[in-house]
Copies of this chain bind each other. A is one copy, B any other.
Amino acid sequence: MAMIRQPENFPETVKEVRRQLALSQEELAHALGVSFATVNRWENGKTIPSKLAQRQFEQFCKQKKIDPASGESSDKSRQDQAE
């Protein structure tokens, strides 16, 4: 029985990932190939991402070396905001 395992709270996860990368909702949306409204709805719990969107998001996180499951980047390669 495969329980689809959605991160229990997708909204926070998205916000967290976005914050770690210092991206606006619009920028993240563009990076994922979806619209701003979609990311906004995800973060505010208005909708749940499609399989494709979930896949894309996870792939994006991997690519960016971010762990969506945890609340932290967890690795030491922080480039942080050198401004």
**Residues of A with Cβ closer than 8 Å to B?**
32-34, 50-53, 55-56
Residue in chain B with minimal CB distance to A35:
B51
Contacts of A55 in B (CB 8 A): 33, 56
The CB with the most chain B CB atoms within 10 A, among A33, A34, A53, is that of A33
| C-alpha spacing A34/B56, complex, angstroms | 12
Measured CB to CB, the closest approach of chain B to A62, in angstroms, equals: 14
- Jot down 12 A-B pairs with beta carbons below 8 A, ordered by A: A32-B52, A33-B51, A33-B52, A33-B55, A34-B51, A34-B52, A50-B52, A52-B52, A52-B53, A52-B56, A55-B56, A56-B56
| C-alpha spacing A14/B50, complex, angstroms | 21
| C-alpha spacing A50/B50, complex, angstroms | 12
